[in-house]
Structure 1
Amino acid sequence: MAIEQGESLNGTRPTRMTSEQIRRRMLDAALDSIGEGGMSLGFPGLQMDEVIIAAGVSRSSVYRIWNSKDLFLGDVLNEAASRFTDKLSDDRALPTAIDLISSRPDLHSSEEGRRRLIREVIRVVLEQNFYGTIDSGPWQSFLATSAALLADDGNEALRRVGETLRQGSDRFIEAMAAFHEALTSLLGFKLRDEFGGGYTLYAVLGSSMVEGLAVRHLANPAVTDNFYVGPPTLTDKPTEWAPSAIGFLAIFDQFLVSDPNFEPSTIHCRLQELGCTIGHSSTIVDTR
């Protein structure tokens, strides 16, 4: 269905857009506004008339698609749930881990050396991940979208939002599980035999711990932003750890053990393979 827009200021013929084009413009404009304001704006703060102006469409055509703000808000929530859940992963985690492991080939050959490396990776990456999370517009919007489900009164719009969030969460956890499996097996660690949840449970617990601290940071950053003396990593000296890194180290120590069948000579090739999968180059020293 084509909908005619109002005449332009320069007197040219009016443009015509389909309902789907208008819908797309409105949703994009709304999500752009949410992305800029983050949780300080929130979805209830959206003003239909402001979104209409930003989208460059006519008011009458919008209200032929959504005859109330509530219907529009339901579609915005669902679109946000879909879009922001696909932007939750920390794209810096794997390159950072590759660089750290590549920089210390002298630690690859011994179990103690590899344990020191995995601790340093956890210490650095989890601190990076925590602060990346609290500064992330997509995460803030994901949190706001999830919080909207608390008002669930059984309506269809929120049911769709909940399903979209679940699907996005499944994709996120699957990606995190794959990352942690690749990283820990790279350095010769495996899950304890008694744990049946596999890397999926490992990823769920780790990501939930980071996100829980991020939520706590919103109300009381003094609790989450302190650093604490923790176990040594690359040297024998105690090092400073962020709470997120300490929490994840506890999960790692509980879930993983050294693989007695691991061959250290595989680290070099696997580092190269991981780097190639993400288009990341690093100085990888061959110690074979």
Structure 2
Amino acid sequence: MGDPEARSRRPAGQTRARMLEVAVERVRAEGLQLDYANIELEDLIRAAGVPRSTVFRIWPDRVAFVADLVRALFEADPGFDTGFDDSTRDVLQQAMAREAPATDATPDGPPAALREALRVTVAHNMAAVEHSVAWRTYRTMSAALASGDAVPGGEDIRALLSEIVDRYLGRMAEIYRGLNEAFGLRMREGVDERDLAVAVMAMIDGMGDHRRIQPTLVDGPRAVALGDEGPRDWHLAGIAVYGIYTAFTEPADE
């Protein structure tokens, strides 16, 4: 708890930071429950050792606090906001360097090097997102909003998620733009890289939902030949991403 006199002298900025720090750690350990049952201000105040009066000056109620908490959860896990997490970006870069891709796509579409880059990157990313507090929070809150049930602070949460997803889609569009340039592809007429990012994100969302119900149905490797290189072990999501990528792009020199 600490010295009450010292607590009373704690600046509001420190109180705010400490409250959010304690709440973020709780969500990391327990997840964010739909009714925010594990985010009680009085309980967090005790755990954080901060002045109650200062907390309620900053946040008049739990709904206001949760809105700031959700933003803090994403800020604590910047991989979601910037596209791929650091480890997945490393896997993608290593795959591209290892494959030494040609600059031109084949007449039939994306080259083998792109297939390999997508194969290893998507498999790694599907594992990484399960350990991401930001992704778990996003899925929890978006599922609650989609359910039609009343969500405390729902409109504010919807606006915040929309803002965060917009930034995520913009970053993924940049990544796809770079991949297209590296592999001699362009977007088909009528769609752009942001459309591709939306389609892939929607597929990953749905795949993630099914994975929680039947993990082996989604995660079991499939030995599939998608090109001249012959059968390779693919994660189901990787096959789906490759199919989407192929549908949205074409060789740039056509």
TM-score normalised to structure 2 length: 0.82
8 Å contact 1:52–1:59 — kept in the other structure?
Answer: yes
The residue number in structure 2 matching 1:283 is none
8 Å contact 1:30–1:76 — kept in the other structure?
Answer: no
Mapped partners of 1:131, 1:146: distance in 2: 20
Corresponding position: 1:25 with 2:15: no
Q: Which of 219, 228, 233 is 1:240 aligned to?
A: 233
One-letter identity of the residue aligned with 1:219 = I
Q: Which of 137, 155, 174 is 1:141 aligned to?
A: 137
Corresponding position: 1:172 with 2:168: yes
Mapped partners of 1:153, 1:13: distance in 2: 40
String of CA shifts for 1:191-221, please: whole Å, max 9, x gaps: 112xx23000100111221122112111221
The residue number in structure 2 matching 1:84 is 74
8 Å contact 1:227–1:240 — kept in the other structure?
Answer: yes
Quote how far apart the aligned CAs of 1:114 are.
6.6
Quote how far apart the aligned CAs of 1:50 are.
3.0
8 Å contact 1:42–1:144 — kept in the other structure?
Answer: no
8 Å contact 1:78–1:164 — kept in the other structure?
Answer: no
Corresponding position: 1:95 with 2:90: yes
Quote how far apart the aligned CAs of 1:57 are.
1.1
Corresponding position: 1:162 with 2:158: yes
Corresponding position: 1:230 with 2:224: yes
Which has the greater radius of gyration?
A: 1
Mapped partners of 2:79, 2:99: distance in 1: 31
Q: Which of 58, 70, 78 is 2:51 aligned to?
A: 58
String of CA shifts for 1:221-254, please: whole Å, max 9, x gaps: 1211111122256x73311111100100110111
The residue number in structure 2 matching 1:285 is none
Mapped partners of 1:30, 1:240: distance in 2: 40
Quote how far apart the aligned CAs of 1:180 are.
0.7
Mapped partners of 1:205, 1:7: distance in 2: 51
One-letter identity of the residue aligned with 1:158 = G
Q: For the structure 1 residues 29 and 109, does the alpha-carbon distance in structure 2 shift closer, same or farther, using more than 3 Å as the test?
A: closer
Quote how far apart the aligned CAs of 1:15 are.
4.7
One-letter identity of the residue aligned with 2:204 = V
Dislocated runs of 4+, deviation >6 Å? none
Mapped partners of 2:142, 2:155: distance in 1: 12
What are the ranges of 5 or more consecutive residues in structure 2 without an aligned counterpart?
A: none
Mapped partners of 1:13, 1:177: distance in 2: 49
The residue number in structure 1 matching 2:30 is 37
Corresponding position: 1:213 with 2:213: no
Equivalent residue of 2:111, what SS?
A: helix
Corresponding position: 1:117 with 2:117: no
Mapped partners of 1:219, 1:143: distance in 2: 14
The residue number in structure 1 matching 2:252 is 259
Equivalent residue of 1:230, what SS?
A: strand
8 Å contact 1:82–1:164 — kept in the other structure?
Answer: no
- Among all aligned residue pairs of Structure 1 and Structure 2, give the percentage whose two residues are the same amino acid: 23
8 Å contact 2:34–2:140 — kept in the other structure?
Answer: no
Quote how far apart the aligned CAs of 1:42 are.
7.3
8 Å contact 1:100–1:121 — kept in the other structure?
Answer: yes
Quote how far apart the aligned CAs of 1:93 are.
3.5
Q: Alignment RMSD, CA only?
A: 3.0
